[in-house]
Amino acid sequence: MSEKISAEDVKHVASLAKLSVSDEQLPYFTEQLGQIIGLFETLGEVNTDGVKPTVSVTDQLNVMRDDIADNWQERDELLANAPETMDGYIKVPTIIDESEDN
Amino acid sequence: MNYLNESLNSIHDKLVNKELSATELTKATLANIKVVDKDINSFITVTEEEALASAKAIDEKGIDAENLLSGMPIALKDNLVTKGVNTTAASKMLADFKPIYSATAVEKLAAVDTVMVGKTNMDEFAMGGSTENSAFKITKNPWDTDRVPGGSSGGSAAAVASGQVLAALGSDTGGSIRQPASFNGIVGMKPTYGRVSRWGLIAFGSSFDQIGPMTRNVADNATVLNAIAGHDDHDLTSSNQAVPDFAANLNNGVAGLTIGLPSEYLGDGVDAKVKEIILAAAETYKQLGAKIVDISLPNTKYGVAAYYILTSSEASSNLQRFDGIRYGYRSPEAKNLEDLYVMSRTEGFGDEVKRRIMLGTYSLSAGFYDAYFKKAAQVRTLMNNDYTEAFKQVDVILTPAAPTPAYKIGAEVNDPMTMYMNDALTVPLNMSGLPGLSMPAGFSDGLPVGMQLIGRPYDEATIYQTANAFEQATDFHKQLPTLGGQN
């Protein structure tokens, strides 16, 4: 089953999703994802020629509303959920790691 | 207060007759949770302070004799955001998250004077079928504490089944209300997609997710759905369809109704005893005057594959918001922005969530989109067509809610493929947005077995009518788990 997806592919997909997979977990994820992708491939036997895809089952289409801002006045409570703040702003680390050569 | 032998009606009478105040009821409920939940682990958070404050306010205003939910303690799955009250989705990612608003369903339950007593355990971000994927605790099945309560709404189901509350809300993306209802011998309804606003439900698969009630009996379930249904400007996929009184037809019986039995739901992979119980239920319906017909939903076997492609794709997109910046877990080790994203997500999410994100990312990635995502969305259309055809012939479809009764804790959690296949009987409804209810239909070696009743879009009322006829004719819902050697 594991030929459905290689360990390199798993690493690549993880990086696209901003995840990292440890060397220890790599064989485990590779095998499991391979099995599940094998299951996905069973859809290949269904004839879907000319069938329109369904991406939503809501009965509401193109609902419009006035574009009016609704200020909840909850800045402090929102910021309280941020991992790090300073002077009413959310604090993040430097975008470019200055310790690296780039 | 232990609710094992109670209903909304019986408790409401006590409140109206002033045998109990809302505050006394809430205190007794909290005291019982302290004792019972030590063995069950249904709750992530018990909201004692908030509960006593709401009960006090209700007592000051007085119990509304016309409102069955007035003063009633309820539990909420921990993926429903609650203003100022920790909401974790059972993830390390949100361990300390305090929402600044409440979900519409939560606001609506508060508006009819229910009392929130706590937030219940679940599979992380509702991904799983056993509640073992919680980052915080393992919930036990009250019927056998060595077994899982099902999932992902396992905490809500176990809280109701063990008599800690009469009603709880769950959410259902692929069976997460119905399967735990089945495993716990209670009633769980996944309403039609769009029936209940998803505003404030932490998103998993946005075109699949739906909030619904979990209760000890059918009538109570309809009462809770009455309170939470309806259009909401905050969720533009919520429907404008009129909301009927879901309890109005409860006692109309099933004479004249046609019930379909789909062969695909009773085939390989379904436990023999479960199958026997469902066929016996069909026989009960026949005796009650319903017409039973065999039907076919030929694309059912592709449901699991298509479902996992589509929901994983939606999940991989929905969960991009967890970036360690604005809220949620942030890795203390990250030195630059890229590391901050990757390390926060890698440390904050559990393995099942990572699997789904990776499966979704893979299914949506360049070169694979047509073979996976688009193909699955086309299969979704074919499955919808199967149901549309079937409902030309029948009013309700009867199936098992799960292929087996509750299994042992630890038995399947490391085998995602088996876990996914367990969802084969519940995911097709979410593909099509149809309403479905699970209710007690029998027992296998002392463990509850649920049956699933599927209805036409927005026809929850006929499901409740059909369910209530069975409940009145049987006593499966009256059997109780033995808790810590006592009832």
We report the CATH number of the domain holding residue B153 as 3.90.1300.10
pLDDT at A1 > cutoff 60: no
B238 domain-assigned: yes
- pLDDT mean values, one per 10 residues, chain B (487 residues): 96 98 98 98 98 98 97 98 98 97 98 98 98 98 98 98 98 98 98 98 98 98 98 95 96 98 94 97 98 97 97 98 96 92 98 98 93 97 98 98 97 88 96 98 98 98 98 96 66
The predicted pLDDT at position B85 comes to 98
Find the closest chain A residue to B431 by CA distance: A57
- What's this model's pTM, rounded to 2 decimal places? 0.97
What share of residues in chain B are helix, strand, coil (percent, to 5)? 40, 15, 40
The domain of A37 spans 2-45
A61 domain-assigned: no
Q: Does A94 touch chain B (CB under 8 A)?
A: yes
Query: Which of B319, B349, B358 to mutate: most A Cβ within 10 Å?
Result: B358
pLDDT at A2 > cutoff 60: no
Strands (E), B360-414: 396-400
Please give the tally of structural domains in chain A: 1
Q: Using CA atoms, how far apart are residues B434 and B429, in angstroms rounded to an integer?
A: 5
Please give the tally of structural domains in chain B: 1
Which of B305, B334, B346 is opposite residue A42, by nearest beta carbon? Answer: B305
pLDDT at A100 > cutoff 90: no
Which of A18, A48, A93 is opposite residue B378, by nearest beta carbon? Answer: A48
pLDDT at A95 > cutoff 90: no
Closest CA to B281 of B171, B398, B146, B180: B398
ipTM over 0.90: yes
Distance, first Cα to last Cα, chain B: 12
The predicted pLDDT at position B486 comes to 47
Closest CA to B46 of B59, B56, B57, B33: B33
Q: Does A47 touch chain B (CB under 8 A)?
A: no
C-alpha radius of gyration, chain B, whole number? 21
A26 domain-assigned: yes
B309 domain-assigned: no
Q: Which chain B residues are closer than 8 Å to A57 by Cβ?
A: 193-194, 207, 384, 431-433
Query: Which of A37, A57, A72, A81 to mutate: most B Cβ within 10 Å?
Result: A57
pLDDT at A82 > cutoff 80: yes
The confidence band for A97, taking pLDDT boundaries of 50, 70 and 90, is low
A40 domain-assigned: yes
B335 domain-assigned: no
A62 domain-assigned: no
The predicted pLDDT at position A102 comes to 45
A68 domain-assigned: no
The stretch A30-39 carries a mean pLDDT of 96
Q: List strands edge to edge, sheet with B167-172.
A: B43-46, B115-120, B73-77, B167-172, B210-215, B187-190, B436-444, B447-455, B396-400, B258-262, B291-295
B291 domain-assigned: no
Q: Which chain A residues are closer than 8 Å to B237 by Cβ?
A: 56, 58, 60
Q: Using CA atoms, how far apart are residues B303 and B309, in angstroms rounded to an integer?
A: 10
The domain of B140 spans 8-255+460-478
Catalytic residue ranges of B: 77, 152, 176
CB contact under 8 A, A43 and B379: yes
The predicted pLDDT at position A62 comes to 84
B389 domain-assigned: no
Q: Which residue has the higher pLDDT, B394 or A101?
A: B394
B85 domain-assigned: yes
CA B168 to chain A, closest CA, distance in angstroms equals 25
B455 domain-assigned: no
Residues 278-317 of B with CB under 8 A from A: 299, 302, 304-306, 308-309, 316
Q: Which chain A residues are closer than 8 Å to B305 by Cβ?
A: 39-40, 42-43
Q: Using CA atoms, how far apart are residues B475 and B441, in angstroms rounded to an integer?
A: 9
The confidence band for A99, taking pLDDT boundaries of 50, 70 and 90, is low
The predicted pLDDT at position A60 comes to 85
Task: Tell me how far CA of residue B415 lies from CA of A39, B312, B362, in angstroms.
Answer: 14, 17, 20
Any idea what the CATH number is for the domain that residue A7 is in?
1.10.20.60
Percent of chain A scored above 90 by pLDDT? 70
Q: Is B409 left (phi over 0), alpha (psi -120 to 50) or beta?
A: beta
The confidence band for A65, taking pLDDT boundaries of 50, 70 and 90, is confident
CB contact under 8 A, B433 and A57: yes
User: B365 — phi, psi (to 5°)?
Assistant: -75, 155
